[in-house]
Amino acid sequence: MFSRKKDFEPFKNKVWLASPTMHNGAEMKYVQEAYDTNWMSTVGENINEIEKIAAEKAGVKYAVALSCCTAALHLCVKFAGEKLYGKPAIGHGAVEGKRVFCSDMTFDATLNPVVYEGGIPVFIDTERDSWNMDPVALEKAFEMYPEVKLVVAAELYGFSGDIKKIKEICEKHGALLIEDAAEAMGATWDGQQCGSFGDYAAVSYNGNKIITGSSGGCLLTNDLEVANKARKWSTQARENATWYQHEEVGYNYRMSNVIAGVIRGQYNYLEEHISQKKVIYERYTKGLKDLPIEMNPIVEGCEPNYWLSAFTINPYYMCKQVRGECDVLYIPEKGKSCPTEILEAISSINAEGRPIWKPMHMQPMYRMHECIGRVGSMRAKTNAYITGTVMDVGADIFQRGVCLPSDNKMTEEQQNEIISVIRACFE
């Protein structure tokens, strides 16, 4: 346990990584409207309005309100597969037996839908400069597997990489792009909204996102046929008949009109939340500037939404840390630290931090899948370093990275205390 300093008092109320922020009844107004009009299910004015607002904010023509972002990503994969390979027989997935290039350093919800539809994820290593899918590695992957026609790219922590370049590479190779903008709502690349680059895209309203409905997500598209089909598939693919007629497999994926009411009230505060998150990021940057750490990189062309502030520790200032599957050990060392010590220190004052996403190719369920970096194919490694050179960028960032408390209700005084605790770890 963290024990270098004993004079830090725990916060009375926990400071969260990121939690919902409600606004004096703005959301409840629309929830109450759903209640009063008795539109409590998966149809209603709130849903209609969310689809209009989400499309407008993302800079696309259509949005389809769904139960969660994972549902949106699943339908994206299904659409892409059927467009590329035709409609599969019942019991078979839309990308059955096909390789699909996927972001490696992300939450598994990005690529699980590929597996739902029978696909084989092939992971693309992370670009050090942006922490997102590496365009150079993606090009290498297409050299190795020119038959691949689908890419799923996530935008990490609200800090986009060159998603425009990723899209151009996909077009060059005749591939479709699914853009997982779950964490990047309101962020832009070259002034264009994240979520508008993909052939299909998804955003999230999960409880910890930049705006929230407690759950929910939207599928984003410029294709009216896709939007209409998504609405059909998400309501059990019922045909237009007076009885329950079904000609294809459907899903119970539609958003509740009650949850849509919360999101409808939240959308008015998207820019305000982004501004608050930016202040948090800048305060960390200033408060930690002389430590051997590097904050989330902001590359030219990106305007983040600053959803989560994070950093990596300079490898020369890392104390010894070893991670197993579900446990970890480290040895404290003067002048050095590691993610585990820092997270313990943050926790000791009743604040929440987390490790960086563990890359997918290191996960037990996916470690036999290929991960392709700038130098070619990499099978899962226990050591990110080869002859002193980092070959597996995602594994290296995971080893050295920390997600910091980034709740927009955190006070300046609380954040300053967190900064002091982090600084103590390097003493």
Q: What is the mean pLDDT of residues 50-74?
A: 98
Do the Cβ atoms of 108 and 360 come closer than 8 Å? yes
pLDDT in tens, 273-299: 999 999 999 999 999 999 999 999 999
pLDDT in tens, 8-37: 899 999 999 999 999 999 999 999 999 999
Q: What is the mean pLDDT of residues 84-108?
A: 97
pLDDT, residue 378, reads 75
Q: Which of 131, 44, 117, 31 shows the shortest CA–CA distance to 82? A: 117
pLDDT, residue 380, reads 44
pLDDT, residue 101, reads 98
Residues 6+ apart with CB under 8 A from 75: 64, 66, 219, 230, 233, 234, 251, 253
d(CA 119, CA 96): 5
Which domains are delineated in the chain? 26-269 (3.40.640.10), 270-425 (3.90.1150.10)
Report the predicted TM-score, pTM, of the whole model to 2 decimal places: 0.95
Tokens of 1: 């346990």
d(CA 292, CA 342): 13
pLDDT, residue 379, reads 58
Q: Give 198 or 391, the one with higher predicted confidence.
A: 198
pLDDT band for 3, please (50, 70, 90 cuts).
Answer: low
pLDDT, residue 390, reads 53
d(CA 100, CA 92): 16
- Range of weakest confidence among 34-38, 46-50, 83-87, 376-380: 376-380
pLDDT, residue 376, reads 82
Q: Give 387 or 247, the one with higher predicted confidence.
A: 247
The three-state DSSP-derived secondary structure of the chain is CCCCCCCCCCCCCCECCCCCCCCCCHHHHHHHHHHHHCCCCCCCHHHHHHHHHHHHHHCCCEEEEECEHHHHHHHHHHHHHHHHHCCCCCCCCCCCCCEEEEECCCCHHHCHHHHHCCCEEEEECECCCCCCECHHHHHHHHHHCCCCCEEEEECHHHCCCCHHHHHHHHHHCCCEEEEECCCCCCCEECCEECCCCCCEEEEECECCCCCCCECEEEEEECCHHHHHHHHHHCECCECCCCCCCECCCCCECECCHHHHHHHHHHHHHHHHHHHHHHHHHHHHHHHCCCCCEEECCCCCCEECCCCCCEEEECHHHECEEEECCCCEEEECCCCCECHHHHHHHHHHCCECCEECCCCHHHCCCCCCCCEEECCEEECCCCCCEECCEECCHHHHHHHHEEECCCCCCCCHHHHHHHHHHHHHHCC
Neighbouring C-beta atoms of residue 354, cutoff 10 Å:
17
Side chain identity at residue 50, one-letter code? I
pLDDT band for 119, please (50, 70, 90 cuts).
Answer: very high
For the chain, the average pLDDT equals: 95
To the nearest whole percent, how much of the chain has pLDDT over 70?
Answer: 96
Give long-range contacts, CB 8 A cutoff, 24+ apart: 28-35: 28/265, 29/261, 29/265, 30/260, 30/261, 30/262, 30/264, 30/265, 31/258, 31/261, 31/262, 31/265, 32/261, 33/261, 34/257, 34/258, 34/260, 34/261, 35/258
pLDDT, residue 6, reads 57
Q: What is the mean pLDDT of residues 265-280?
A: 98
Residue 384 pLDDT > 60: no
Beta bridge partners of 66: 217, 254
Q: What is the mean pLDDT of residues 46-67?
A: 98
Residue 349 pLDDT > 90: yes
Q: What is the mean pLDDT of residues 36-51?
A: 97
pLDDT, residue 4, reads 53
Q: Give 377 or 261, the one with higher predicted confidence.
A: 261
Residue 371 pLDDT > 70: yes
Residue 308 pLDDT > 80: yes
pLDDT in tens, 123-143: 999 999 999 999 999 999 999
pLDDT in tens, 212-224: 999 999 999 999 9
pLDDT band for 377, please (50, 70, 90 cuts).
Answer: confident
pLDDT, residue 381, reads 45
